Amino acid sequence: MNPPPLKALHYFCIAAGHQNFKRAAEELSVTPGAVSQQIRSLEQWMGLQLFARNARQVHLTEAGGIFYRRVYPLLSEVLDISQSMQRVNRSGVVRITLPPSFAMISFGPALADFRRWNPGIELQVHASSMLSPLDGSDHDLAIRFLPGQDRRLDCTCLARLEVVVACSPDYLRRHPSLRSGNLDGCTLIHDHLHQDWQRMFRCAGLRGTPVDNLYFDQAILSHQAAEGGLGLLLTDRMLAGPALERGALVMPVAVALPARRHLFLAHRRDANLGPEAIALKRWILAHFAADPAGGR
């Protein structure tokens, strides 16, 4: 007989504890569909229905409840032992995951300072737009763009972001009407981070008819397109800061809107951070947090 799918067991225990696939997905930082898929694979392996489902909610079947009460203590013990062994084997190692845009524009250029003061710490940086579970299995710390505080996590706000319009100086010279908010003939650059062009049009009183759109799934690519004179970018002051300072980007419209998502440093509340992870956390707060002592 094939062994049980361990990932599906983990997802099942989280979902059973919440009695809700959406809340389980939020804890695991995956989609509700991913949770449902894993649980269905476990049900197929067992030949039993573990959850009864209807249009609005799910709840454990009798078999699911019995299975949860038996397997949850065992799985928790396995996870605790595994994480303890990882901490032993990772002595001196800190793992952090963060968005590629922040990694390349802000975090990477500042790393020399951290290395200078912490030469004995082995740092493993994972820059990805995919959200991995905040359960300590893949990383110790995470920097993420979130809509607000997540009370399930130790979550510190690093920056309250403001959305602005930016373009290259050459693009502004070719479209001088931008200074008066007229976007006739312009190209709009879109990325996944700040999808707020409609709100900017409304709040900034922009008018005119753009003739083209460019779409990117990475903020760093949208910045490169804007600096290359390909169009108007909707970005935030933090990510655009270096380019604005060196003159590669300018702000033709003097309006800034509160972003829908802001930058946070997060980890599990019950995480047993080692001294190396604590050192990295303190350094991040000192370098990037507007209020290192607060913001929680």
Is there a domain that residue 293 lies in?
no
Is there a domain that residue 234 lies in?
yes
Is there a domain that residue 296 lies in?
no
Determine the longest span between alpha carbons in the chain, in angstroms: 71
Amino acid 107: pLDDT = 92
Amino acid 290: pLDDT = 63
141 with 171, same domain?
A: no
118 with 252, same domain?
A: no
User: How many independent structural domains does the chain possess?
Assistant: 3
116 with 238, same domain?
A: no
Amino acid 72: pLDDT = 85
pLDDT tens column, 155-170 = 999 999 999 999 999 9
Amino acid 185: pLDDT = 95
146 with 272, same domain?
A: yes
168 with 183, same domain?
A: yes
Is there a domain that residue 206 lies in?
yes
CATH number of the domain residue 225 falls in: 3.40.190.10
Closest CA to 285 of 260, 264, 259, 262: 264
- State the sign of the Cα–Cα–Cα–Cα dihedral 118, 124, 126, 131: negative
Amino acid 253: pLDDT = 92
Written in H, E and C, the secondary structure of the chain is CCCCCHHHHHHHHHHHHHCCHHHHHHHHCCCHHHHHHHHHHHHHHHCCCCEEECCCCEEECHHHHHHHHHHHHHHHHHHHHHHHHHHHHCCCEEEEEECHHHHHHHHHHHHHHHHHHCCCCEEEEEECCCCCCCCCCCCCEEEEEECCCCCCEEEEEEECCEEEEEECHHHHHHCHHHHHCECCCCEEEEECCCCCHHHHHHHHCCECCCCEEEEECCHHHHHHHHHCCCCEEEEEHHHHHHHHHCCCCECCCCCCEECCCEEEEEEECCCCCCHHHHHHHHHHHHHHCCCCCCCC
Is there a domain that residue 295 lies in?
no
115 with 166, same domain?
A: no
Amino acid 162: pLDDT = 94
CATH number of the domain residue 37 falls in: 1.10.10.10
Amino acid 60: pLDDT = 92
23 with 78, same domain?
A: yes
95 with 84, same domain?
A: no
Instruction: Name the residue range of residue 68's domain.
Output: 6-88
The count of C-alpha atoms lying within 13 angstroms of the C-alpha of 74, restricted to the half-sphere facing its C-beta, is 7
131 with 98, same domain?
A: yes
Looking at 61, 88, 115, which one is the last position of a domain?
88
Tens-binned pLDDT, residue by residue, of the chain (296 aa): 577 788 888 899 999 999 899 888 888 888 888 999 999 999 999 898 999 988 778 999 999 999 998 888 888 777 666 665 555 445 578 999 998 889 988 899 999 999 898 888 899 999 877 666 666 567 889 999 888 888 778 899 999 999 999 999 999 999 999 999 999 999 999 988 888 899 999 999 999 999 999 999 888 899 999 999 999 999 999 999 999 999 999 999 989 999 998 999 998 887 788 899 999 999 999 998 864 433 33
Is there a domain that residue 73 lies in?
yes
128 with 240, same domain?
A: no
Is there a domain that residue 1 lies in?
no
- State the sign of the Cα–Cα–Cα–Cα dihedral 140, 144, 150, 151: positive
177 with 201, same domain?
A: yes
CA 49 to chain centre: 34
Amino acid 224: pLDDT = 95
pLDDT tens column, 176-203 = 999 999 999 999 999 888 888 999 999 9
131 with 274, same domain?
A: yes
Q: Hey, how many other C-beta atoms are within 10 angstroms of the C-beta on 14?
A: 22
- CA distances 157 to 146, 161, 192, Å, are 9, 10, 20
